[in-house]
Structure 1
Amino acid sequence: MRLVQVTIPAGKREAVLRVLDEEGIDYVVTDETSGREYTAVAYFPLPTSAVEPILEQLRDVGLEREAYTVVVSAETVVSKRFDDLKDSYAEKEESEERIARQEIEARAEELAASIPTYVVMTIVSAVIATAGLLLDSPATVVGSMVIAPLIGPAMTTAVGSVIDDAELFQRGVSLQVVGIVLAVAAATVFAVFVQVMNLVPPGLDPLSLAEVEERLSPNFLSLAVAIGAGIAGAVSLMTGISAALVGVMIAVALIPPAATVGIGIAYSDPALAVGSAVLVAVNMLSINLASLIVLWYAGYRPEHFFRRDKARIATLKRVAVLVVAIAVLSLFLGGVTYDSYQSAQTEQDIRNAIDTELEDPVYAGYTLVELEVETTAENLLFQRPTAATVTVGVPPDAGRPGLATGIETRVAAEAGVDIDIDVFYLERERGAG
């Protein structure tokens, strides 16, 4: 529910009150005695979904933007007429919680934080994310997402596009680009500092950290996360729900991958840097695409009718650009997804070949305990198996009849890969009970 306050210009009082009467709206009118061009102030409660259509009608009868219009949240309205009005608009509107265009524009402007605040919070969140990744601490990484101010620019961009506000749109785009660049730069500087000061073990391989490794090879599931974040952000914005939790979701898609890019640069690991950079780009584009489509579908348009065609054309062009960009990057995601599938399939084939080899009577009592397949990056990111470490449980005092060579031959024949095999023997003795 909303409480609306409007100042009524001279000569427009009857027209404004006629609109309110025709819509069955309760109102209070007071005289305006400041001596300016306004003669009265009207106060009236409205259902949330009624704010935009009522303000449109008032604008049509002469209540232009030069007049003051204030819309605030109302906790409770006790009125039979208001209940009837609420029911009436519930039947007309698809969503009772959808806020007015004027409100969503104001919320978008509020979410676009001032430059100093945005810069500081982005740098701090990137540094914390980098620390969390190097500590391999999921809790710390999550903490960095909570303070990241990235929901504002994405939503500002979408709102600016659908209502044809070029300044708002450009501000949103600029803040997004600046935010990602700052996050990567801050993560790089911090990761270099950590290395120089020996705050992590010398010779640390970032890919040995689970939090870092999972962002090395993004796949199509990453796209789903980003699209979901964009949809959630737009829905939270247009329903007036707190954007704090949704902001964390958007930060999930951007801050840790951006920090991983910085780690890849600091550790001179191009595969890590490129893979994470692609993830950042895909996520940012997908968030913008999803939020833009949701807001346009929800019916947000420019205030003036003659600007709506311009906004529609501009929005369609931006959607097309985003779709093409995501499609191009999705080729990379598709390749990584397929490569991940192939790697998993190859490892399973190697395991099956080893199991088959151990079924030979020569290896009676031998059991496969552990298999670790080593891979190397080929064409920067795609993985190729090069070696495998096999741990085999054997009875005490069992012979060692050239198992490594047998496994190599079997793997080459059945799995179709030529890799080096190292075998470790683990003696096992089972009790009589």
Structure 2
Amino acid sequence: MLHLRIVCPPERTEAVLGVLRAEQGATHLVLLPGAGLDPAGDVVEADVAREAADDVLAQLCALRLDHDGAITMETIDTALSDAADRAEARAPGDGADAVVWDELISRSGEESRLNVTFQSFMVIACLLAAVGVVTDSPVTIVGAMVVGPEFGPLAAVAVGLVRRRWDLVRRAALAVGVGFPLAMLVTAGASALGEMGGLFDREVFNGAKHQVDFVYQVGPFSLIVALLAGAAGMLALTSAKSAALVGVFISVTTVPAAGYAAVAAVLGNWDKALSSTAQLAVNLVGIVVAATLVLWFRYRQSRSGQGGEHRRPLAAG
């Protein structure tokens, strides 16, 4: 279930209570008159089944509470209540299949920002990938896959395309477009220093086959895996099954390909550098395409179930 806290002008409190009382998936209704200080107003709290949350939020936004008050939402991990059990049973559908669009837009908008934290993770992930390449360590390559933060902005691109939120698309594209080249540049510099310091040998890298050669070997399965990963990742985001995202992270070779390309370029192996760059491009495009298709399908489902679009455009993050 989800916990809602609403700050509303006193003259709209009855309307808010009417929305929540009429919703079969809502329970644990609490009214605190005059408790809101900034913004000022009454505070209404309720627990809502996930599958009913999207419709409740739409009705609350129709009351302009997002402008004249406040609506906050958080996930409830445990609810020991017969009333909560009844509310979830009465709500149509299944919580795991429900998409809370406001939550998805806010979450993807936050994870698509180009900031110091995002760039730091990107650089660390590429450096880990470079270490895995020069030491021929698949385990380190997997570690780089998990650390890489690139799925957030890729998912945000899909959300922006489906919901026609071009500001979100631009922000996410900026994060990817700046994040990868900058991380690869830092990795190339570190690789050059490593070679000069004798940490690895150019001849060994350019020699016989290695266990991590799969990183730059682009082919049909590169696209297939990227499509499957993008679909699984978007399903995980929209169904709140975040544990599945770990499998997404370690199934695609975005960050490893970037790290491999940087190392190969420094060591003068341009064939591997170009192949790795192609691998990176295929994975990025495949993830976005699959995530967009999955989200578009779920969006069409939600619209057909609600009788059409009735939501305002929301600010991302």
- Compute the displacement of 1:282 (Å): 0.6
Q: Report whether the alignment pairs 1:112 with 2:112.
A: yes
Q: Which amino acid aligns with 1:115?
A: N
What per-residue deviation string (whole Å, max 9, x for no partner) do you get for residues 42-98 of structure 1? 111111121111111223345344321111122333444433331232xx3365453
Aligned length: 305
Q: 1:109 to 1:43 in 2, by over 3 A?
A: same
Root-mean-square deviation over aligned CA pairs: 2.8
* Separation (CA, whole Å) in 2 of partners of 1:34 and 1:148: 41
Q: 1:247 to 1:120 in 2, by over 3 A?
A: farther
Q: 1:64 to 1:191 in 2, by over 3 A?
A: closer
* Separation (CA, whole Å) in 2 of partners of 1:36 and 1:276: 52
Relative contact order higher in (CA < 8 Å, ≥ 6 apart): 2
Q: 1:167 to 1:207 in 2, by over 3 A?
A: farther
Partner of 2:75: 73
What per-residue deviation string (whole Å, max 9, x for no partner) do you get for residues 87-145 of structure 1? 232xx336545341111122213323551112222112111211111111112222222
Q: TM-score, normalised by structure 1?
A: 0.64
What per-residue deviation string (whole Å, max 9, x for no partner) do you get for residues 240-269 of structure 1? 23366146236x420111122112212222
- Compute the displacement of 1:204 (Å): 2.7
What per-residue deviation string (whole Å, max 9, x for no partner) do you get for residues 342-368 of structure 1? xxxxxxxxxxxxxxxxxxxxxxxxxxx
Partner of 1:245: 246
Q: Which amino acid aligns with 1:87?
A: A
* Separation (CA, whole Å) in 2 of partners of 1:281 and 1:74: 39
Q: Which deviates more, 282-291 or 138-147? A: 138-147
Partner of 2:226: 226
Q: Report whether the alignment pairs 1:204 with 2:204.
A: yes
Partner of 1:391: none
Alignment check: 8 A CA contact 1:136 1:209 kept? no
1:123-138 matches, within 5 Å, as 123-138=123-138
Partner of 2:52: 50
What per-residue deviation string (whole Å, max 9, x for no partner) do you get for residues 137-164 of structure 1? 1122222222212122112222233333
What per-residue deviation string (whole Å, max 9, x for no partner) do you get for residues 21-47 of structure 1? 222433111101557775421111111
Q: Which amino acid aligns with 1:28?
A: V
1:18-417 matches, within 5 Å, as 18-24=18-24, 25-26=26-27, 27-33=29-35, 38-89=40-91, 92-93=92-93, 96-112=96-112, 115-201=115-201, 203-242=203-242, 245-246=246-247, 248-249=249-250, 252-299=252-299
Q: 1:207 to 1:216 in 2, by over 3 A?
A: farther
* Separation (CA, whole Å) in 2 of partners of 1:167 and 1:178: 16
Alignment check: 8 A CA contact 1:7 1:40 kept? yes
Alignment check: 8 A CA contact 2:159 2:295 kept? yes
- Gaps of at least 5 residues in structure 1 are 309-433
Q: 1:80 to 1:140 in 2, by over 3 A?
A: closer
* Separation (CA, whole Å) in 2 of partners of 1:304 and 1:285: 31
Q: Match of 1:77, SS?
A: coil
Greater per-residue helix proportion: 2
Alignment check: 8 A CA contact 1:225 1:253 kept? no
Q: Name which one, 1 or 2, has greater alpha-carbon Rg.
A: 1
Alignment check: 8 A CA contact 1:183 1:255 kept? no
* Separation (CA, whole Å) in 2 of partners of 1:213 and 1:35: 60
What per-residue deviation string (whole Å, max 9, x for no partner) do you get for residues 209-252 of structure 1? 414533343111111211122112212211223366146236x4
Alignment check: 8 A CA contact 2:113 2:175 kept? no
Q: Which amino acid aligns with 1:101?
A: W
Q: 1:305 to 1:186 in 2, by over 3 A?
A: same
- Compute the displacement of 1:175 (Å): 0.8
- Gaps of at least 5 residues in structure 2 are none
Q: 1:29 to 1:195 in 2, by over 3 A?
A: same
Q: 1:31 to 1:270 in 2, by over 3 A?
A: same
